[in-house]
């Protein structure tokens, strides 16, 4: 560690996705006198396939079932979203109900925690309610209503986080870094936080080949005259390639329709035929949307979730240049695990 005890610590955060921005704000809370610098190729406002955060749906619907660390990340974030949604409605996070429909038995759906065989967030989200048999769509095996979780307008939320960083005197530099060691931009740097997401696949000094993209495609459509009462999700399992979801974004952000989870697919182009399929599936799931041909498309999207074999890498590494705190590989949980 280069800095001495008499100096304020100096932290560099590499990456300005939801993970990098939340990390910078967390560091500011813990080390009020520190110097913090975010170095990133992309910042909120950018739309690029290398930058996952703007393409997310997004909502809080935990996919963790490890009865351990991953669940705890989501629990902490749920609490933080509660506070943000109450105290800062302008941040783009809102409480919302969610209907989950599964096409496999609950034991095979990946929603029960190891060891307890329960849905760990049952109480946290207001008590899950089984969906009545006559309300299940054809082919579905079971459904659960979550009375109270969160939906995020990602564009608004990323800008809100960025504004918080500015207010907290976090410095921002747009720069591509070839190796993680380059982020030690001066001998005073105490530690570098590596929040580069899928960038860690090719970032020198990291080159994590356990990383891979999980491609998602979405369609953003205009909200119908009657707002939806809830979000919808349908899938064989909580994490599955065939996933359909409908998220009504707060603050007039339209409705996000999705999607898919294509492991190992780096293609950043929109597939318009597949977009039609998404709209069809979403209208069948959420009849309030009306007919697919009547949907008014605002924009199509493709994002690559930063997935990693074995789960996210959250650990400290001591390098010759100094300490690197890795925090990447959030896959489809980067928002709900962000705090
Ligand atoms: C369709 C879709 C739906 C999703 N839905 C949800 C959801 O409902 N809930 C949820 O929690 N999550 C969801 N996600 C997942 C979520 O979007 C990601 O987990 C999250 O955005 C990852 O954030 P990140 O900060 O790790 O990475 P990114 O947002 O990709 O940010 C990486 C940052 O690192 C920078 N960077 C990388 N390499 C370098 C370099 N060499 N030099 C400088 N800078 C570099 C980039 O420029 C960028 O600033 C969804 C994702 C998709 C695609």
- The tens place of each residue's pLDDT in the chain, 339 residues long, gives 444 445 799 999 999 999 999 999 999 999 999 999 999 999 999 999 999 999 999 999 999 999 999 999 999 999 999 999 999 999 999 999 999 999 999 999 999 999 999 999 999 999 999 999 999 999 999 999 999 999 999 999 999 999 999 999 999 999 999 999 999 999 999 999 999 999 999 999 999 999 999 999 999 999 988 899 999 999 999 999 999 999 999 999 999 999 999 999 999 999 999 999 999 999 999 999 999 999 999 999 999 999 999 999 999 999 999 999 999 999 999 999 999
Which residues share a beta bridge with 163?
Answer: none
Q: Please give the C-alpha separations between residue 265 and each of 53, 201, 208, 216, 303, in angstroms, as whole numbers.
A: 17, 14, 17, 9, 10
Q: What is the pLDDT of residue 225?
A: 87
Q: Which residues are annotated as a binding site for D-dopa?
A: 245, 305, 332
Q: What is the pLDDT of residue 232?
A: 98
Q: Which residues are annotated as a binding site?
A: 177, 196, 245, 305, 332
Ligand 1: atom nearest CA of 41 is: 47
Pairing state between β 322-328 and 262-263: unpaired
Q: How far apart are CA 44 and CA 293, in angstroms?
A: 32
Q: What is the pLDDT of residue 4?
A: 44
> What residues have CB less than 8 Å from 143, skipping those under 6 apart?
99, 100, 101, 102, 130, 131, 135, 136
Assess contact for 54 and 44: CB atoms under 8 A. Answer: yes
Q: Which residues are annotated as a binding site for FAD?
A: 177, 196
Q: How far apart are CA 63 and CA 71, in angstroms?
A: 8
Ligand 1: atom nearest CA of 178 is: 41
Ligand 1: atom nearest CA of 175 is: 43
165 lines ligand 1 (CB under 6 A): no
Query: Per the confidence metrics, is the pTM higher than 0.95?
Result: yes
Q: How far is the CA of 151 from the centre of ligand 1 (A)?
A: 17
What residue owns the CA closest to ligand 1's atom 13? 332
Which of 282, 260, 285 has the alpha carbon at shortest distance from 271? 260
Q: How far is the CA of 133 from the centre of ligand 1 (A)?
A: 37
99 lines ligand 1 (CB under 6 A): no
Assess contact for 145 and 98: CB atoms under 8 A. Answer: yes
Q: What is the pLDDT of residue 3?
A: 44
Which of 148, 133, 126 has the alpha carbon at shortest distance from 101? 133
Q: How far is the CA of 20 from the centre of ligand 1 (A)?
A: 9
Structure tokens at 28: 């500011």
Q: How far is the CA of 127 from the centre of ligand 1 (A)?
A: 30
Q: What is the pLDDT of residue 6?
A: 52
Which of 309, 306, 311 has the alpha carbon at shortest distance from 331? 306
* Strand runs labelled E in 41-103: 93-102
183 lines ligand 1 (CB under 6 A): no
Q: Three-class SS of residue 118?
A: coil
Q: How big is the chain, counted in residues?
A: 339
């Amino acid at each position: 560690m280069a800095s001495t005890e008499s100096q304020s610590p100096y932290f560099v955060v590499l990456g300005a996705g939801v993970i990098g921005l939340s990390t910078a704000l967390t560091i500011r809370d813990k080390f009020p006198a520190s110097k913090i610098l975010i170095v990133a190729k992309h910042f909120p406002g950018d739309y690029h396939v290398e930058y996952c955060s703007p393409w997310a749906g997004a909502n809080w619907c935990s996919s963790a079932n490890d009865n351990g660390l991953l669940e705890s990340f989501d629990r902490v974030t749920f609490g933080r979203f509660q506070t943000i949604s109450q105290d800062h409605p302008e941040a783009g996070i809102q409480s919302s109900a969610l209907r989950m429909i599964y096409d496999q038995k609950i034991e095979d759906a990946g929603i029960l925690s190891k060891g307890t065989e329960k849905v760990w967030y049952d109480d946290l989200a207001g008590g899950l309610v089984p969906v009545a048999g006559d309300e299940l769509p054809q082919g579905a095996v079971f459904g659960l209503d979550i009375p109270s979780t969160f939906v995020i307008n990602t564009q608004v939320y990323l800008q809100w986080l960025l504004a918080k960083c500015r207010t907290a005197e976090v410095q921002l530099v747009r720069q591509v870094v070839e190796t993680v060691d380059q982020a030690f931009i001066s001998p005073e740097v105490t530690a570098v936080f590596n929040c580069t997401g899928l960038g860690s696949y090719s970032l020198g000094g990291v080159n994590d080949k356990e990383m891979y993209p999980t491609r998602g495609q979405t369609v953003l459509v205009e909200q119908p005259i009657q707002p939806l009462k809830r979000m919808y999700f349908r899938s064989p399992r909580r994490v599955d390639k065939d996933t359909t979801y409908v998220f009504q974004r707060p603050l007039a952000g339209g409705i996000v329709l999705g999607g898919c989870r294509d492991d190992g697919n780096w293609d950043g182009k929109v597939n318009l035929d597949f977009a039609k399929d998404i709209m069809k599936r979403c209208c069948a799931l959420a009849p309030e949307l009306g007919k697919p041909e009547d949907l008014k498309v605002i924009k199509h999207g493709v994002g690559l979730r930063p997935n990693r074999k074995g789960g996210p890498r959250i650990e400290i590494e001591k390098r010759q240049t100094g300490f690197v705190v890795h925090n990447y590989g959030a896959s489809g949980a980067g928002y709900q695990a962000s705090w």
